[in-house]
Amino acid sequence: METIKLTIDNRAVEVPRGTTINKAARLLGIEIPVLCYMELKDMNIENKPAGCRICVVEVDGRRNLAPSCATNCEEGMVVRTHTTRVLNARRTVMEFILSDHPKDCLICAKSGTCELQSMAHKLGIREIPGQEIAAMSTYRLDTSPSIIRDLDKCIMCRRCEMMCNEIQTVGALSAVNRGFMSAVAPAFEQNLEHSTCTYCGQCVAVCPTGALTEVDHTPDVLRALADPSKTVIVQTAPAVRAALGEEFGMEPGTLVTGKMVSALRSLGFDYVFDTDFAADLTIMEEGTELLDRLNRHLSGDKTARLPILTSCCPGWVNFFEYYFPDLKDVPSTAKSPQQMFGAIANTYFADKIGVNRKDLVVVSIMPCLAKKYECQRGEFSTDNNPDVDFSISTRELAAFIKQANIDLNNLEDDDFDSPLGESTGAGVIFGTTGGVIEAAVRTAYELQTGKKLERLDFNELRGLEGVREATIDFDGLPIRIGIAHGLGNARKLLDDVRSGKSQFHAIEVMACPGGCIGGGGQPLHHGNSEIIKARVAAIYAEDKKKPLRKSHENPFIIKLYEEFLGSPNSEKAHHLLHTHYFERKKKIVVKH
């Protein structure tokens, strides 16, 4: 590899050709500040509009300051990162951004985690000249079921646009207008709700400011907890336990399962359950569906469509309803674990404890913003009573715990309640890309072959590669598996399914890069992919620790079928645990 020698702040450094000044400086431990720039290393995610100019440096022999995030190193370059000229320019840029930015940090949802706020702090900004004269541009507040857009706080870093267009290929957001009125918005500046937004929340996950935030449902949860006539139960998604600790200063990748259960109990939930239980249930239903389609296909039944696609991610469901409605009979009909949990809680469990579903409040803690929308979908409620009442994100839970003066760090571990809190390692790995299909393989293999699986860790299905494929030997029968995370990667596999090129038997899709551990409701990663990797490792570690690691071995799942559902894919199971999809593609209609 060709390398280049240069000096930065009088220190020599050698880097491969194509390295930016900013990255070269980082190798020397010099952190040149960035604002619009964001990179998730090893995940092919980079935002480089060179727009904000906060990262400028002086390069000897050049008249203009250079944006270090977008300027490549050259042989013999002499770079200075903190001359008076550089520091003044940086301050001017910051003052300019702040002159058109609201000053209500005290009550902003991003306060404390806002990158603009910390940049202002880092640069020591103490006054904003000219703000009395400049009228601030204002925009209409947009509230959708999952996301709030407060564009007064938008700094045009365009990270959200990059996520929505390049990574997710949804294209709901684009830079619009010019000058002070420029913003990132859906077409015709309509509300997100009227766009093709999937509510994956990836725009929220990268927004440096309070311009994009989640709809906060903690006040609703608080109200339900305070109401003595309600029985309030909670389910926690697998990815939450691998990230919640970050909000309390713990190392990324610290598992806080037991402490989280304690905290939820202190908050006053009557039963603390686990979405992992419902994930095991999902495997029973989805796995059975897979085997049914597979065996019918093998016996020559042309109506059995393959590949089967996983359907546990509501962001992904929204995506194919908009973009691949012609393929809507390809995904599994199994509901997501969140909704399976809700359906079982309001029937089987409500009966068990003798509570009417009207008095049962089901709360979910999710790494996900699409789940907020999902639980409001009409098909997931009975007589206007939703199966899942409120869905709050990992971030909202962290804030809720802090508000209640609970010190997560010093809590004793506690266990989930039975029966809807019992799960296997297969349920846990739902939280990461590749996990759902690995869980399905563990069960489908044994059900199909009647043999015991010797090896439970399928390393060939793991990793962060955007599209992965593997063939698993089902005792002589090769099962071809595809995995995609990020909707742009999913689109590639879907295009092949549409054109008939796809050779897979089963495909797992997660809307968020990394899977749910990288979900739109997780603690902010601020462009550090090491955090995401640490969460993945935590998920697999939790799986390894579990005495049972195959969904069909979960005794409480077995009991649920014996006592209530009959068998997987039974009529009752279909009624409660499966769903159907809608065509939501835009239609062009002829006007007469």
Partner 1 sequence: MSSIKIELRQEDIEKIREICGSFGKDPQELINVLHKCQEHFGYLPAEVQEVVSNELDVPVAKIYGVVTFYSFFTMTPKGRHPISICMGTACYVRGAEKVLDEFKKELGLQVGQTSKDGKFSLSSLRCVGACGLAPVVLVGDKTYGRVAPDDVRNILKEYE
- By CB under 8 A, name the binding residues for partner 1: 165, 170-178, 185-189, 194-196, 377-378, 582-591
Residue 10, number of CB atoms within 10 A of its CB: 8
Whole-number Å distance between alpha carbons of 114 and 590: 47
Q: Please state the closest distance from residue 212 (CB atom) to ligand SF4, in A.
A: 5
Given ligand SF4, partner 1, ligand FES, none, residue 177, with its beta carbon under 5 to 8 Å by kind, binds partner 1
Single residue of 6, 30, 36, 183 touching ligand FES by CB under 6 A? 36
DSSP 307-342: SEE----HHHHHHHHHH-GGGTTSB--BPPHHHHHH
Q: Please state the closest distance from residue 53 (CB atom) to ligand FES, in A.
A: 5
For residue 168, give the nearest of 584, 529, 520, 582 by alpha carbon. 520
For the question of residue 289 being annotated catalytic, the response is yes
Pick the closer one to partner 1 by CB: 63 or 178: 178
Q: What is the CB-side half-sphere exposure of residue 414 using CA atoms within 13 A? A: 20
3-state secondary structure 455-523: CCCCHHHCCCCCEEEEEEEECCEEEEEEEEECHHHHHHHHHHHHHCCCCCCEEEEECCCCCHHHCCCCC
Of 165-173, 244-252, 258-266, 583-591, the window that binds ligand SF4 (rule: CB under 6 A) is: 165-173
Pick the closer one to partner 1 by CB: 126 or 580: 580
67 touching ligand FES, by CB under 6 A: yes
3-state secondary structure of 29: coil
Whole-number Å distance between alpha carbons of 272 and 261: 7
Tokens (6 digits) for 402: 């802090």
Q: Please state the closest distance from residue 164 (CB atom) to partner 1, in A.
A: 8
Tokens (6 digits) for 208: 């440096």
For the question of residue 246 being annotated catalytic, the response is no
Pick the closer one to partner 1 by CB: 197 or 441: 197
Contacts of 553 (CB under 8 A, 6+ apart): 424
53 touching ligand FES, by CB under 6 A: yes
Pick the closer one to ligand SF4 by CB: 572 or 584: 584
Single residue of 34, 163, 290, 344 touching ligand SF4 by CB under 6 A? 163
Pick the closer one to ligand SF4 by CB: 68 or 144: 144
Single residue of 19, 20, 168, 443 touching ligand SF4 by CB under 6 A? 168
For the question of residue 542 being annotated catalytic, the response is no
Pick the closer one to ligand FES by CB: 69 or 163: 69
As a whole number of Å, the end-to-end CA separation of the chain is 65
Whole-number Å distance between alpha carbons of 120 and 91: 9
Amino acid at 237: A
Whole-number Å distance between alpha carbons of 539 and 310: 20
> Of 23, 371, 372, 550, which residue is the catalytic one?
371
For the question of residue 563 being annotated catalytic, the response is no
511 touching ligand SF4, by CB under 6 A: yes
206 touching ligand FES, by CB under 6 A: no
Q: Please state the closest distance from residue 56 (CB atom) to ligand FES, in A.
A: 8
For the question of residue 379 being annotated catalytic, the response is yes
Single residue of 15, 55, 57, 557 touching ligand FES by CB under 6 A? 55
* Residue whose CB is nearest to ligand SF4 in the complex, by number: 519
For residue 419, whether the previous peptide bond is cis, meaning omega lies within 30 degrees of 0, is yes
For the question of residue 189 being annotated catalytic, the response is no
155 touching ligand SF4, by CB under 6 A: yes
Whole-number Å distance between alpha carbons of 239 and 519: 8
For residue 199, give the nearest of 21, 106, 318, 93 by alpha carbon. 318
51 touching ligand FES, by CB under 6 A: yes
For residue 362, give the nearest of 378, 336, 385 by alpha carbon. 385
Q: Are residues 74 and 111 in contact, defined by beta-carbon separation less than 8 angstroms?
A: no
Whole-number Å distance between alpha carbons of 32 and 351: 60
Tell me how far the alpha carbon of residue 5 is from its chain's centroid: 40
386 touching ligand FES, by CB under 6 A: no
Whole-number Å distance between alpha carbons of 357 and 346: 5
Given ligand FES, partner 1, ligand SF4, none, residue 54, with its beta carbon under 5 to 8 Å by kind, binds ligand FES
> Of 115, 161, 246, 289, which residue is the catalytic one?
289
350 touching ligand SF4, by CB under 6 A: no
264 touching ligand FES, by CB under 6 A: no
Which residues bind to ligand SF4, rule: CB under 6 A? 147, 154-160, 163-164, 168, 170, 172-173, 184, 197-203, 206-209, 211-212, 313-316, 367-368, 370-371, 510-512, 515-516, 519
Which residues bind to ligand FES, rule: CB under 6 A? 34-37, 50-55, 67, 69
Catalytic residues: 286, 289, 312, 332, 371, 374, 379, 516
